């Protein structure tokens, strides 16, 4: 399960740069579940909601490509998400059936 703690996503976590974004470090994180699907979570100045400290989530397929044809993505990435919303959506992805 994904663990979000304050402004840090504990997954495969990479700071995008050393600069701060409105007091928050930009981040990129991704996590794959046993079913082959994964999530990518970002927060930076160009992500949906990033300047407000919110997260953007994309669903990934087993090859690491964006997967839009599902109930979470609904044809796009999901933006302006709180930590709790990211956890909820990631839980739905974790429950997807294997490809």
Tell me the per-residue pLDDT of 37-72, one tens digit each, with 9 for 90 and over: 999 999 888 899 988 989 999 999 999 999 999 999
Burial class (CB in 10 A: 0-12, 13-18, 19+), 28: middle
SS3 56: strand
pLDDT digits (tens, 9 = 90+) for 17-40: 444 545 567 788 888 888 999 999
What is the reported pTM?
0.77
Length of the chain measured in residues: 99
Strand partners, 31: 39
- Parse the chain into domains and list their residue ranges: 3-94
Give the DSSP letter string of 58-75: EEE-TTS-B--SSTTTTT
């Amino acid at each position: 399960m994904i663990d979000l703690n304050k402004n840090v996503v504990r997954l495969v976590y990479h700071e995008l740069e050393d600069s701060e974004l409105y007091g928050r470090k930009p981040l990129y994180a991704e996590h794959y579940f046993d079913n082959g699907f994964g999530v990518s979570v970002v927060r930076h100045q160009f992500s949906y909601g990033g300047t407000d400290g919110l997260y953007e989530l994309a669903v990934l397929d087993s090859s690491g490509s964006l997967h839009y044809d599902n109930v979470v993505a609904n044809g796009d990435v999901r933006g302006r998400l709180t930590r709790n919303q990211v956890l909820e959506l990631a839980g739905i992805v974790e429950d997807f059936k294997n490809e």
